[in-house]
Amino acid sequence: MTKIFNLFDFKQKVDYKTEILAGLTVALALIPEAVAFAFIAGLSPLTGLYAAFVMGLITSILGGRPGMISGATGAVAVVIVGLSVTHGPEYIFATVILAGIIQILAGVLRLGKLIRLVPHSVIFGFVNGLAIIIFMSQLAQFKTLNAAGEMVWMTGPPLWTFLGLVLTAMVIIWGLPKLTKVFPSSLAAILVVFGIVVALGIDTKSVGDMASISGGFPPFHIPEVPFSWETLQLIFPYAAIMAGVGLIESLLTLNIVDEITETRGRGNKECVAQGTANMLSGLFSGMGGCAMLGQSLINVSSGARARLSGIVAAVMLLVFIMFGADLIEKLPMAALTGVMIMVAIGTFEWASLKTFRRMPKSDVLVMVLVTLVTIFLHNLALAVLVGVIISALVFAWDNAKRIRARKRVDEKGVKHYEIYGPLFFGSVAAFNEKFDILNDPEEVIIDFSESRIVDMSGIEAVNKLTERYLKQGKKLHLRHLSEDCRQLLHNADAIIEVNVLEDPHYKVATDKV
C-alpha cells in the first residue's frame, strides 16, 4: 500500500481515519452541488454526478495539490449552458474533451506560472465573490413548490423547521471543533440532523426532492457528433472559455489551499491533471468541471492533507450512485445547506474588510470590482481578467511617475544624466522632459546604472533623443546599460538605429557577476 501511495506522490504521513472521514463528508456535500450545476447547464443530474466522480478521482491521483477537490462547477455550467440548450449533451461531451486537451497543452507549455500575475487584491475579490455566490445559492433551498407548481418562499412551520435544522447544523460545525477534532464537524452535523429528522419523523426537504441520483457506472461513450471542421468551429470557443475558466478557478483554489496548509502545490501539474480529468469526463458522459473552493475548504477544514481524501470522496460518490441512492436521497437538505453556509462564512476574507483604510485605493477598487463581477456576472474568468488588467494599469501608472534624472556637469564639461526608474511606454513622456538639448554641452552621457529600458517604446525614446542631439551637432553616450538592455537594443537594430557609444574614460558595466 505504501508503494502505491508513493507512486502517486503521497510523501507526507497519511492519517487514514481523518482522510477517510473527510472524504465521506466531501462526497455527501458534492451530491446536491453536482445535481444543481447539471440543472444549470440544462443536463441530467447523472451528467453532473459522473463529472464529479471522474474529476474528483483523476485530479486527486494526478493533481498538483493534495487535499484539493474537483468536480462539476457552476463556473463551467454557465459557460456551456448555451451550447447545451441549442445542440444537446453530445456536443457538450465533445466540448469537454477539447477543453481538456487545451488544459493539458497549457500544463505542458508551463503556463500555470502565469497565475503569479494575479495580485492579492484580485484573489481577495475572487474569494469574497465566490463566498457570496455560495451563500446566495443556498437561499434557493428555502423555497418550495406551491399547488400551482411554482417555486415560492417557505412560510410558517415548514420555514421554521427547515431554519431550525440549518442552524443546528451550523452550531455543530462551529462548536464541535472547540470540543474535539477527532471527528469532522461537517460530517457530524449531517449525521446529527439526519438522525433528528428520522427520529422525530420530521417532514422536510431531502436530496431526493431535487432529483434521483440512482445510476450505474459511468458509461464510456464517444460523443456522437460529426467529426468535421464545422463542429470544431462550433465547439472551440466554448472549449477555450471553459478551459480558461477551469484553470483560473483551479489555480486560484490551489493558491488558497496552499496558504491554509502552508505548503506549496504545483500549478503546471494541476493543469495537466485538470485536462486529463476533463477529457475522461467527456468520454464517460460527464459535463466536466474544475477545482471547487467550497468542497476543498470542507476537506481541508476536516483535517485532510493528502490525496486519499479526494480519492475516497470520488469513490464514495460512485458508491452512493450505484448502491446507496435510496438512503442518500433521504438526507435532509437542511443539513447540507448548513454545511455550505458555514463554508461560505469560512471562505469570505473578513480580514480584507479591516484593511480598507490601510490598503491603497487602487487595490480596494480592484477587490470590490472583482467581487461585484463575480457576484453579478457569475464569470470568474472575466472577474479575474478585469482585476489583473486594472492592477497592471495602476502599476504601470505608478512606475511611470517614478522615473527621475539627477543632473551634473563634470570637470571636463561633460553633462551627466543619471536616470532612476524603468523606461517603458508609460514613462517615455516624463523621460523626454528631463533633457535640455539646446543648452546642453557638446558631449552628454546618460547613465542607466539604476534604470532599465524595458520595451519598444523605451528604445524608440532613446533613438529619437539620439537623433535630436545629433541634429544639434552634439555627441550622446549611453553608459552602464545592463546586458539585457544592450541585447534589447541590439535586437531592435534592424528596425531603428540607436547610437550606443562607449566613452573611453568610462567602462561599460553589465549585470554579469
Instruction: Report the 3 state secondary structure along 302-365.
Output: CCCCCCHHHHHHHHHHHHHHHCCHHHHCCCEHHHHHHHHHHHHHHHCCCHHHHCCCCCCHHHHH
User: Cβ contacts of residue 385 below 8 Å, gap of 6+?
Assistant: none
> Residue 259: its pLDDT value, please?
86
Average pLDDT over residues 200-212: 86
| SS3 call for 456 | helix
Residue 172: is its pLDDT beyond 50?
Answer: yes
> Residue 12: its pLDDT value, please?
58
Residue 256: is its pLDDT beyond 60?
Answer: yes
Average pLDDT over residues 250-262: 88
The pairing of beta strand 443-453 with beta strand 143-145: unpaired
| SS3 call for 199 | helix
Domains and CATH numbers, the chain: 14-354 (no CATH), 361-399 (no CATH), 402-494 (3.30.750.24)
Least confident range of 292-301, 342-351, 393-402, 480-489? 480-489
Residue 472 to residue 2: CA distance in whole angstroms: 78
**Total count of residues recorded for the chain:** 513
pLDDT confidence bin for 224, thresholds 50/70/90: very high
**pTM for this prediction:** 0.74
Residue 148: is its pLDDT beyond 70?
Answer: yes
> Residue 278: its pLDDT value, please?
97
Q: Largest Cα–Cα distance of the chain, in whole Å?
A: 99
> Residue 160: its pLDDT value, please?
94
What contacts 24+ positions apart, CB below 8 Å, involve 180-187? 181/303, 183/21, 184/18, 184/21, 184/22, 184/25, 184/302, 184/303, 185/301, 185/302, 186/25, 186/29, 186/298, 186/301, 186/302, 186/339, 186/342, 187/21, 187/22, 187/24, 187/25, 187/28, 187/302
Residue 479 to residue 123: CA distance in whole angstroms: 41
> Residue 500: its pLDDT value, please?
53
Cross-strand pairs, 422: 452
Helical spans, DSSP H, in 262-292: 267-283
Please report, rounded to a whole number, the percentage of residues in the chain having pLDDT higher than 90. Answer: 36
Average pLDDT over residues 211-235: 92
Highest mean pLDDT range out of 78-87, 225-234, 323-332, 457-466?
225-234
Cell representation of residue 203:
417532514
Cell representation of residue 310:
479526494
- CB burial class (10 A; 0-12, 13-18, 19+) of residue 182? exposed
Nearest to 339 by CA among 189, 182, 137: 189
C-alpha distances in Å from residue 164, one per residue of 141, 335, 338: 13, 10, 10
CB 82 within 8 A of CB 217: no
Residue 359: is its pLDDT beyond 90?
Answer: no
Average pLDDT over residues 4-14: 52
pLDDT confidence bin for 97, thresholds 50/70/90: very high
CB 347 within 8 A of CB 216: no
Residue 350: is its pLDDT beyond 80?
Answer: yes
CA dihedral 145, 149, 150, 154 (to 10 degrees): -20
> Residue 493: its pLDDT value, please?
57
> Residue 69: its pLDDT value, please?
95
Residue 266 to residue 344: CA distance in whole angstroms: 26
**3-state secondary structure string across 59-115:** HHHHCCCCCCCEECCHHHHHHHHHHHHHHCHHHHHHHHHHHHHHHHHHHHCCHHHHH
> Residue 505: its pLDDT value, please?
42
